[in-house]
Structures are given as structure tokens and as C-alpha cells.
A and B are shown apart, each in its own frame.
Chain A
Amino acid sequence: MITRAASRLLWGLLLLTAALTLFASTQGAMDVSLASLWYGDDERLRQIWFTIRLPRVLLALLVGAALALSGCVMQGLFRNPLADPGLLGISSGAALVVGCWLVLPLSVPVLIALYAPLVAAFIGSLAVMVVIFLLSKTGESALSRLLLVGIAINALCGAGVGVLAWISNDAQLRQLSQWGMGSLGQAQWPTLIVTATLILPAMLGIWRVAKQLNFLQLGEEEAHYLGVDVRRLQRRLLLCSALLVAASVAISGIIGFVGLVVPHLIRMVLGPDHQHQIPGSLLAGASLLLLADTAARTLVAPAEMPVGLLTSLLGAPWFLWLIFRQRSALYG
């Protein structure tokens, strides 16, 4: 049941996101206005806008929403506001395989080479997902065990990337670290559609158990007594969240901050009910990444900045302000 106040806020967020989308679609290295798109006769401009800028704007919305939702689920599942999508080591796994692809000499047909980094990142994420799935099937205290496994995977993959850095040349190294800072530059219609087919079902899968996620906040045992199949719910949430992260990392590299802070912000504003948090995180995450990416591709045009840097720059001050405001509300 969505309360009136929360409903108003969510509508506001939706309008904000729509406005930002319109704004972002007119910003970029090329000078484009909506009027010139509609009435102008520059076919080439229109084509570039449609094949390059539009998919990128949509991808920013999609990935931002996916990362924020994944963070929201992690925080609800582990009942810890410090949980973030990278907790389980999925992005590390992706980074390791991408690093291997960049550094190790492998000759592949040109068509595969085109999409290879994307596929490599996805394979890495998938491998970690399989580990998570197997572990989540068995035993008690699966969650705490998963946390420890995530720490181990993060450490292992980090070391792996370190080894690769050791044997790579300067240029490959730089490319790997660039990938680590995130970029939406590989947005095109085919890659966008593939990413969407992974992300949208995962989002739906999470939305349908929003109420059960609420019950889980009472505690695993309490939720069990309320009739929730706790193991199945946890596994579903883990897999959906992992899929969101895997798809995002595959197409855009590592973009931090969105998954940790957006759900946190939303919880402060909309309250603990996941029926509010889920749509709220989706919209706020989409808006944040869209704004960051727009800045990334306009500030130093025609070059671009890594978007991961900008999400932190944009989000952190906001977040600090909200914390201080919340503190004074508690003690004031």
C-alpha cells in the first residue's frame, strides 16, 4: 500500500526523471535542439542523435536504475545500510576477466573482438553469480557465509587484477583502470537492447516480492513464522540483484556510489517500506546517472570524463547535506 505522501514524492521523482531525460537528450558534443530534430532537414544529425545519443541517454537511465535497485535489495536483504552491489564480488569478477582479456594475448575474429570486453565482463560476473547461487542453496546462516565469500572474492579478484597489472604494459594498464572508472560510451541500440532484456526482468522479479522483503526486515525467523519462504526469497533477491549488477558492469564498467548512496537517500526520504523504496531508488538512480553522464560527455567535449568519478562528485555533497539535516531532526 503506497501512502499519499510517498505517492506524491514518487510522482515528483518521475517528473524530474522525465525532465532530465529531455534535457540530456539535447546536451552533448554535438549541438542539437529538439526543434532542429523535429523540423530540421539535417538527416545526418538526426541519425547521429538517434543511433548514438539516444541509446546513451536510455542506457544511463537503465544502468542507474539497475545499480540503485541492486543496492536497495542488498541493503534490505542484509538488513545493513552499508551494503552495496559490490558486496558479493560480482564487479570484481567482471574486472578480473576484462583484465585478462585486455592483457593476455588472444587472437579472435574481428566481430567477436568488437564485443569482447562486454562479453568478458559478463562472463566474469556470471562465474561469481554461479558461486553465489550454489552457496545460497544450502545450509543455515547462508547470508553471513555469503558476505564472507564476497570479501574473499573481492580480495582474490583484486589480487588477480594486480598480477595482470604486473605483467601488462603501460597502455593496457591505463585502459584497465579507465574501464574501472566506468563509461557509457559503448551504448548502441544492440547493446542497449541486450542489457535491457537482462535488467528489466530482474527489476520485475524484485518488485513482485517487495512486500515479502518488508517482512524480512523483522528477522529471518519472524518472517518464516509469517509464512515467508525465507530461503527462496533470499535466493531470488540475490540472483536478481546479481543479474542487475552483472549486466550493468558488462556494458559500462564499474560505476560506484550509485548503488550505496541512492537507496540510503531514498530510505531517509521515503521511509523503510520497500514498496516505496523500490520505485524511488529506480527513479533516483536513473536521474543521478543521467545527470552524471551528461556532465561527463559535455564538460570536456569532444573528449569525455569517466562517469564513475562524476557520480561520486555529484552525489557525495548531497548525501552529506542530507545526513546533517537528518541528524538535526533527530536531536533538534
Chain B
Amino acid sequence: MTFKRPNSAGFLVLAILAGLCAVALVDPALAQTAADATKDAAPAAPVPNKGDVAWMLTSSALVLMMSIPGLALFYGGLVRTKNMASVLTQVFAIVSMIGVTWTLYGYSMAFSDGGSMTAYVGGFSKAFMHGVDGSSTAATFSNGVVIPELAYFVFQMTFAMITPALIVGAFAERIKFSAVMLFILLWSTLIYYPIAHWVWYVAAPDDVANAAKALAAATDAAAKSAAQAKLDSVTSSVGWLAGAGALDFAGGTVVHINAGIAGLVGALIIGKRVGYGKDLMAPHSLTMTMIGASLLWVGWFGFNAGSNLEANGTTAVAFVNTMVATAGAALSWLLCEWMLKGKPSLLGICSGAVAGLVAVTPASGFAGTIGALVLGLVVSPVCLFFVSSVKNTFGYDDALDVFGVHCVGGIVGALGTGILVNPALGGVGITDYTNITGNNAGTYDLVTQMIAQGKAVLATLVWSGVGSAILYKVVDVIVGLRPSVEQEREGLDITDHGERAYNY
């Protein structure tokens, strides 16, 4: 028996990471100063509510459960036995890698002020958790309500984990593990963190209120113009899509359209699986897929209802919408398939549930209950059309239908949100919590809102689609995307990981 010398590159990376962490640990003094400065600015700082904290930490754990084991099993059941360990490892490894990069710089890129670039990307002021500790707080959507920043940090981390993990379904069974890891490292850094910033970096309601109060209190012209400038800087220091008034409650654009288009581009660039259209590529375990879909459904309550950042009435709205839309979509997929293909299938009802969860994501806190039900009923036929007719017509091998379910479902949801937020349809209307210029706060206009929604969809499709294409090419040059035909036939479990998912 011979032992191969371990790859030294891995150790080098670890050593560098350890070094950087050590540097970050040395400057708690700096962090302290920053925290003190914030305290001075807001003398009566609100204290986090215990119920909110408990709910946000619970939600974070629920969203982690969506990725592992939920998504991993949902995807894993759909591949052939020889690639089961490969899919499970990819999802688990992505979750772990993002857990590291989010802590080191991802959170800062998504949720800190990017200075002159802040419409498009955050800065590095919170890199290495600078100034983020047990006493710092993050704003919610209500005045006078905050949650611990660490709770916000870890909740958003779980979103950053699942989004890239969604992509691997598109090119499952035919990509090298090294290529997946490098691609996801680049993609999360250059595509996900900026898009999260575009949509979710909004002004804290308290900052807006304080600035507005200062403006009202200003007496002479000089103080007035200074206060107005302060208010403008607060309300304009937001991601550009948030500023454009696009509504996305829990991440239909940021998570699903984003991952879905990246998946489609990957499926096109990497090419079809060997034997696609000829060999039997039936799912190896619909049992696992059903377990995975069910875990996704449960975890999604954390994803959608947690996105309210507090435990209150809107949280219940999002929770119930998630339940109702998903039930409607699962049933509607089952019935459509029964009518069109002759049999109601387990994979069909599971796919419908996921499509419903995707579609209700952006609408969850905005639509009324019946609106959410209609959204669920509508999304399934559209996704079914894409995963069967469109995919077969164009012949792309989106192995696990990441595009057909997540991107298409996400677009249906994003546009549906623009319609269903209408108070006349039971929606909550455009909530006025930040006074962001131009977000139509307090009013609802279908055309204006649909333009904003369309802008968000298109921007995401273009940035993620084009950006991903470039990143796939870069990864192809550096490590190569595809295994050899022989390796692919043998299965990635053995060739990439040296183990089998099943030994019986």
C-alpha cells in the first residue's frame, strides 16, 4: 500500500486563513471605538426583544436545515446512485465554505456601507467581523425595534449558503468537485454578495426617523439644509434595486432567479451529461427526494417568516402565505400532470411544492392569503411547461431543473408580488417604513410597481447570467469544468471522492 503526499495547497490556504483571523483578533480596540461612536449618535438605543431574538435564531437554524439535509436530499434522490455522494458532498461543502467566507468578508460586502459605490456593493468595514459582536444591533423594518447584529448576520449567512447550493442541481453528475468549489467561491463573492446588497441593503427606519426629526427641529436655514442633507444621505445610502422600489420580501430575485439563471448558464456551458437522452437517468430514490422536499417546506418558514426580522403580525402573514401557496402549488402540479401525462406523480407533487415555495418567497410578507393561494396555483403549470416542453424543445440538460423551477418560479413570484401587494387584492400595500425616495411608499400603482419588479428581474438575469458565464470560463481555464468521459461514466462518487454513497 502506498500513500500519496497530501496536497500542500490546501494547507497553505488554511495557514493564510488562520493568519488573517489572527490579525482580525488583534484589533478589538478599534471595534470598541466604532461601537462607542454609534452609541453616542443614538443615545436611547433600543434593546432587542427576547421573542424576536429567539425567532431569528430559530429561523436561521431552519434555513440551514433547508440546505443540509433538505436540498441535499432533494437533489441527491434525483441523481443516479453513482453520483449520490457527489451531490451530497457538493452541497455540504458549499454550505461550509460560505460559512467561512461570509464571516471573513461576505457579510461586509452585502451589508455594510460601500461609500460612493454603496448602490452596487458594500464595503469592507465589517470584514473579519469588525465591530460586529454580541452588543451591536441590526435594524428591522420597524422603528424602535432592533435585533442583535449577530442574529442578523447568521440569518443572512444561511441565505448565502443555500443560494449557491441551489446551482449545483443544474450541472449535477458531470462537473469536477474542484470546479464546483472554485466557481462557487468566485460566484458568491462577485455575484451573490453584490446582488444581496442591491436588494436588501436598506436604510434603518430609526436612522430615517432621527434624521427626519432633526430636520423638523432645525430652525435656521443653515441647520435646515444640513439636516436635509443628512436625511438625503440616509435615504440614498441603499442598494439600487431597493432604491428603485422593487419588492422582494425573502429573496425571490436574490436567491432563486439568481441561482436559477446561473444554473442554466452552467448547464449550457458545461454541456449535456454523457448519454443524455439515450441512457436511463431516472431518479435513484424518490423517497430521499420526498424527504428533502418536505424538509425544504418546513425550513422555508424560517426563510420567509424569518425575513420579517421580527416576530409579529407580518411574520404570521409570511408564515401562512408560505403554507398556503405551497399547498396550492403542490396540488396544482399534481393535477396538471395527471391531466397531461395521465398519472399523478410523487416527483410532480414534490416539484410543485418547491415551485410554490419559490414563487411565494418574494410575495410572502406582501400578499394576502388568497393572493398567495392563487400565486401557488398559477406557478406550477408555468414551471411544468418549462421543465417538460421548453427543456425538451431546446435540449439543454438542466439536470435537476434549477432553471425551470427556481428561475422561472422566481420570475413568476417576483412579477406576481408586484400584482398581489395591491391592497385591493388583499395585499399589504407599499409599506412606508424608510421613506426611500421614489419607492411609491403609501401608494400603489400597478404599472410603476411592475416596472420596478421587471427591473429587478432583468438586472439579476443579466448580472448573474453574464457574470456566471465569465466565471465558468475562468474556472474552465484554471481547473477544468468537466471530468473525463470515463470518469463521468464511472460516477463522480468514486472518481471525485473515492467512496460510494451506498455499500450493500
- A-B complex is real: no
Q: Which residues of A are in contact with B by a Cβ distance under 8 Å?
A: none
